[in-house]
Amino acid sequence: MADDQAAGQTILVVGGGISGLTAAVEAAEVGYKVLLVEKDPHLGGRVAQHYQYFPKLCSPSCGLEINYQRVKNNPLIRVMTLAEVEDIQGTEGNYTVRIRQNPRFVTEKCTGCGDCSRACTVTVPNPFNFGMNEIKAIRASHAMAYPGHYFMDAAYARSAEAQTLVSVCPVGAIDPNMSATTLEEKVGSIVWATGWQPYDAEKIQPYGFGRFANVSTNMRFERLANTYGPTGGTLTRPSDGKEIKNIAFIQCAGSRDHNHLPFCSRVCCLASMKQATYVRSQFPDAKVTIYYIDLRAMDRYEGFQKKVEADPSITWIKSKPARIDEDPVTKDPIVVGENTLTGVRYADPYDMVVLATGMEPNSATTARVPAQAVAYDEYGFVVKGGQVLSTGCTATPLDVAAAVQAGTAVALKAIQSAARRG
Ligand SMILES: Cc1cc2nc3c(=O)[nH]c(=O)nc-3n(C[C@H](O)[C@H](O)[C@H](O)COP(=O)(O)OP(=O)(O)OC[C@H]3O[C@@H](n4cnc5c(N)ncnc54)[C@H](O)[C@@H]3O)c2cc1C
C-alpha cells in the first residue's frame, strides 16, 4: 500500500479508453483510490470499436477484457459511466470537481437478459457502428460492453412505451424517470484521458464523403469488418450490397494538411495496411490500392509493412488524389489524380474507397478541461506545463502499445501530483 503523503488521496481519471483504464488500474494496484469518469455507457474507448490490432492482427477484446477484470476486482476503483466533469477548482493535492451523472434509466440490477430490448419497438441509428445500422433504443452498446448492464436513450425514456418496459424487466432494473444528478468530489490529482475522435471526413469536400455512398472512412471500415458490425463482418458496400473486391485507401485524408489536421496521426498508414489484410483474407481474389504521400511505419512496425508489401494484389501509388467522382450508374467511386513518381494521370473506379482520416483530440472540441491549470498545444492536445495531467491520445496521437505505456507512466505522475499539496 502507498504510505507517502498522497496516501488516502483519490486520483481522478477522466476517460475510460485504453490509456485511462491503464492509468486507473496501475494507480489502484499500488494502493491509490481512483475515480474513473467516462462519458459513454461503456469503457474501452475507440479500441473497443477496432476489429483487429496491427501488427499481430489479434482481437482487441482480449486486452480490454483483462483490464475490465482488473477494474472489477479492485475495490479502490470507482467507475462512473455516462458522466462528465463540469468544473474543477483548487490546486494539486486539493481539487474539488463537479461531476454530472447522466441517467442510464437502467440500474445495476440489470442482468443483461435482453427482455427489454426484445420488447422495445423503437430503433435508432447505432452510434457504436457510426449509424451504419439500427439498434434498439434500450440496449448494451455492443456485445462485449463493460459495464454490461443496459441503458436507454434519453429521448426514448420520455416515450409512453418506455414506461411499459418497467413491467417487462424480471429484476425491476428499469426506471425511465431517472434524471441527471451532480456531485462534488475531492481529489488529489487529475488525469485527462479523453482521447480522440475521427476527423470529420465531410470537411474534405473533394472526396465526397457523405455524398457518395461507397466512400467510407477507416473507423467505419473497422466496424464493417467486425462480426458485430452492420453486415456481420461481411465486407459489402452500402449502395447495393456488392462484395468489396476492388478497394482503394487514401492516406492522409485531411491529415498533414493546414486546411484540416496539420499533424500526422502516426497510425493511419498501419491501419490501412491492416485493413488491406481484412479484404485480402476475406476475398482471395480481391485487389487493393493504397494512395500515399509517404508511408510511416516506425520501428517494429516496419516488419508488418514488409509483410503487407509482399502481397502482389496490393498496389501502392505515391499520390495525393485530387478528388473522387462517382459513376452515376454503378455508384462506383472514381479516384482522380496524378501519380507523383510517373506523372501519369489516373481516374480509377473502385467498389469502395476508404479515407484514412486522422485523430482529432477531443480536448480540442468536446472535452476541453474545465480548469485554468491546463496547457494545450496549437492542435488542442493537453501537454506538459499545467497541473492537470494528460495521457494517451489526449497528449499526442499514439498506437495502443504506446497509449498503454503512457497510461502506466502517468499513474506515477498522478501519484506525485497528489502529493504536491498547494
Ligand atoms: C482507423 C484506426 C485504426 C487503428 N487501429 C489500431 C491498431 O490496430 N493497433 C493499434 O495499436 N492502434 C490502433 N489505432 C490507434 C488506437 O485507436 C489508439 O491508440 C487508442 O484509441 C488510444 O486510446 P485512448 O485511451 O488514448 O483514447 P480513446 O480510445 O479515444 O479513449 C478515450 C475515452 O475517453 C472518453 N471521453 C471522451 N470525452 C470525454 C469526456 N468529456 N468525459 C469523460 N470521458 C470522455 C471516450 O468516450 C473514450 O472512452 C487505430 C486508430 C485508427 C484511427
Q: Please report the beta strands in 24-154, taking only residues with DSSP state E, as ranges in sequence order.
A: 33-37, 77-80, 83-91, 94-101, 123-125, 134-136, 138-139, 151-152
| Ligand 1 proximal residues by C-beta, below 6 Å | 14-20, 37-40, 45-47, 50, 53-54, 84, 193-196, 218-219, 222, 267, 271, 274, 359, 362, 366-367, 392-393, 398-401, 403
Gap between the Cα atoms of 100 and 345, Å rounded: 55
CATH number of 10-102+180-197+360-419: 3.50.50.60
Specify the ligand 1 atom closest to the Cα of 274. Answer: 8
Domains 10-102+180-197+360-419 and 200-357 share a fold: yes
342 CB contacts (<8 Å, ≥6 apart)?
A: none
pLDDT of residue 328: 98
pLDDT of residue 373: 84
pLDDT of residue 167: 98
Determine the distance separating the centroid of ligand 1 and the alpha carbon of 311, expressed in angstroms.
29
Are the C-beta atoms of 356 and 252 separated by less than 8 Å? Answer: yes
Domain segments of the chain as ranges: 10-102+180-197+360-419, 115-167, 200-357
- Most informative mutation of 46, 67, 391 for ligand 1 (most atoms within 8 A of CB): 46
Q: What is the pTM of this model?
A: 0.96
pLDDT of residue 2: 44
Report mean pLDDT in 10-residue bins for the chain, 422 residues.
61 98 98 98 98 94 94 98 97 96 98 98 98 98 95 98 98 98 97 98 98 98 97 98 98 96 96 98 98 91 96 98 98 98 98 98 96 93 94 97 97 95 64
CATH number of 200-357: 3.50.50.60
Helix (H) or strand (E) holding 355: strand 352-357
